[in-house]
């Protein structure tokens, strides 16, 4: 058996033992419920897990007791052993419906049972009111389940009982326990952010010296900032996390810089899609943002908000309910950004578009200007392969005569390459690049 297969088998064995225990406890709880047995479910200890399994590591690291492990196993069951929960489909013959104390609901797709907080209370507490109340602490924001984003009660239950919400294990925890590898969420309606990566490196980033110096400070914080604050006695006074504003014209390297910061520190960078976050419906914007911040809370991600004006813009004088709601959204964002323990980077074309309440809380506000002639020449040389350039191409002249951002230069060069290819050319001519530059300037309204 290969090492990878052996590792998967180890994780699977740990989960099998835990689910076997869950089934044993479930059977005993049902006997106790229907036969009024005096059996003590709490006297059925959880199994000893194999060393090296992801589940054993999680139990040890978070100090999970029998009650936590039982709730976690219940949340895992629909994914790994759905038939174990078929017991909950038994009907109350007196009323021709399910038992209220079982909670949960029937799944619409796989026809299995989906447990709720009520199901967890039935399993862990039975009819013991004190134990039922104590169970609520498992869903408190300070509990490891919430802090680590492992298990939660999903959904807004409105005026219904708190424990009526469905019990959910996160996709990250599920994959971790099955494979030992943390799942990286992909862009979808429930997670409106996308992992951004780049094949470029720091040598490809051409910026003004002042901008590079500022970025160097941000890199230093990523490498040793929290430890340094504690070492110098500032840990208690300085809020956790780091908040930056990148501002300047489009195409000047803001997104690439954020990506490279993550790559150099070994952190994932997630760009939040504001079109999926902002909603006209009251409360939906905050809910969408909460999904991103909740998943990122303990994952050491960098959250990157591009074109942040749409979400972090200035608050206005309150003249109607829409203004009041918009201001509430900004206040909510301010609180989440300030409490986030990792790095948050906001990007905007104009510094003045960002609400002053955010500005006061940025540790760094970094300006990304249009590159000067020397920087543009460096960019042209980085972008162009010498063997593909015609004899008439004068890169210093292009750098002097055309004031463009790096992004616009890339677009112009891409157009030039396509044009040359359509003409059957294997090398670029000056006219190809000039046509591409003229096209970019028309897009920016600088050429009629």
Q: How far is CA 207 from the centre of its chain?
A: 28
- Domain over 193-367 is classified CATH 3.40.50.180: no
Residue span(s) of the chain under CATH 3.40.50.300 come to: 193-367
**For the chain, what percent of residues have pLDDT higher than 70?**
88
- With H, G, I as helix, E, B as strand and everything else as coil, classify residue 47: coil
Rounded mean pLDDT of the chain? Answer: 86
Return d(Cα 167, Cα 22) in angstroms, integer.
Answer: 15
Res 321 pLDDT > 60: no
pLDDT score at 319 = 54
Going by C-beta distance under 8 Å and a sequence separation of 6 or more, which residues neighbour residue 397? none
pLDDT, tens digit (0-9, with 9 covering 90-100), for 290-306: 878 887 877 788 999 88
- Least trusted range by pLDDT, from 47-61, 206-220, 308-322, 404-418: 308-322
Residue 129 backbone dihedrals phi, psi, to 5 degrees: -65, -40
- Least trusted range by pLDDT, from 220-224, 280-284, 408-412, 425-429: 280-284
pLDDT score at 189 = 61
> What is the rounded average pLDDT of the residues 33-58?
83
Cα end-to-end distance, the chain, whole Å:
68
Tokens coding 391: 């004899």
Tell me whether strands 113-114 and 151-154 are parallel, antiparallel or unpaired: unpaired
Return d(Cα 216, Cα 441) in angstroms, integer.
Answer: 32
pLDDT score at 284 = 74
> What is the rounded average pLDDT of the residues 231-254?
86
Do 334 and 362 touch, CB atoms closer than 8 A?
A: no
> What is the rounded average pLDDT of the residues 380-389?
91
Res 1 pLDDT > 50: no
Residue span(s) of the chain under CATH 1.10.8.60 come to: 373-443
Looking at CATH, the fold of the domain delimited by 373-443 is given as: Helicase, Ruva Protein; domain 3 (1.10.8)
Instruction: Indicate yes or no: pTM above 0.85.
Output: no
pLDDT score at 21 = 96
Report helix, strand and coil shares of the chain as percent, to nearest 5.
55, 10, 35
Residue found under tokens 């992909």: 186
> What is the rounded average pLDDT of the residues 338-351?
86
Res 407 pLDDT > 70: yes
Q: How far is CA 195 from the centre of its chain?
A: 8
pLDDT, tens digit (0-9, with 9 covering 90-100), for 125-137: 888 899 999 999 9
- Residue 203 is classified by DSSP as G
């Amino acid at each position: 058996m290969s090492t990878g297969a052996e590792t998967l088998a180890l994780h699977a064995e740990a989960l099998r033992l835990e689910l076997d225990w869950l089934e044993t406890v479930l059977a005993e709880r049902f006997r106790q419920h229907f036969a009024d047995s005096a059996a003590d479910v709490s006297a059925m200890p959880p199994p000893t897990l194999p060393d090296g399994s992801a589940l054993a590591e999680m139990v040890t690291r978070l100090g999970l007791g029998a009650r936590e492990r039982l709730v976690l196993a219940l949340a895992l069951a629909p994914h790994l052993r759905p038939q174990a929960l078929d017991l909950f489909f038994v009907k109350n013959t007196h009323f021709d419906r399910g038992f209220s104390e079982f909670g949960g609901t029937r799944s619409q797709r796989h026809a299995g049972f989906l447990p709720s907080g009520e199901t967890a209370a039935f399993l862990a507490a039975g009819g013991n009111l004190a134990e039922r109340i104590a169970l609520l602490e498992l869903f408190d924001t300070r509990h490891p389940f919430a802090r680590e984003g492992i298990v939660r009660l999903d959904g807004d239950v409105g005026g219904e009982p708190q424990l009526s919400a469905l019990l959910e294990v996160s996709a990250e925890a599920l994959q971790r326990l099955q494979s030992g590898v943390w799942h990286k969420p992909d862009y979808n309606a429930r997670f409106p952010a996308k992992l951004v990566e780049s094949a470029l490196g720091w040598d490809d980033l051409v910026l003004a010296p002042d901008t590079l110096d500022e970025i160097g400070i941000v890199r230093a914080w990523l490498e040793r900032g929290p430890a340094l604050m504690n070492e110098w006695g500032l840990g208690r006074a300085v809020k956790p996390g780091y908040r930056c504003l990148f501002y300047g014209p489009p195409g000047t390297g803001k997104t690439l810089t954020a990506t490279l910061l993550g790559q150099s520190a070994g952190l994932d960078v997630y760009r939040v899609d504001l079109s999926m976050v902002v909603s006209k419906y009251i409360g939906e914007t905050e809910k969408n943002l909460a999904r991103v911040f909740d998943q990122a809370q303990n994952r050491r991600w960098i959250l990157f908000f591009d074109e942040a004006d749409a979400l972090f813009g200035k608050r206005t004088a309150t003249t109607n309910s829409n203004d009041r709601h918009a201001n509430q959204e900004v206040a909510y964002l301010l609180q989440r950004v300030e409490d986030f323990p990792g790095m948050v980077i906001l990007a905007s074309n104009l510094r003045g578009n960002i609400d002053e309440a955010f500005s006061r809380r940025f540790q760094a506000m970094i300006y990304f200007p249009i590159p000067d002639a020397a920087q543009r020449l460096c960019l042209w040389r980085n972008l162009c392969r010498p063997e593909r350039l015609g004899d008439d191409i004068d890169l210093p002249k292009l750098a002097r005569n055309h004031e463009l951002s790096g992004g616009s230069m890339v677009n112009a060069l891409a157009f030039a390459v396509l044009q040359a290819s359509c003409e059957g050319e294997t090398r670029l001519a000056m006219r190809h690049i000039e046509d591409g530059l003229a096209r970019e300037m028309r897009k920016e309204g600088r050429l009629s």
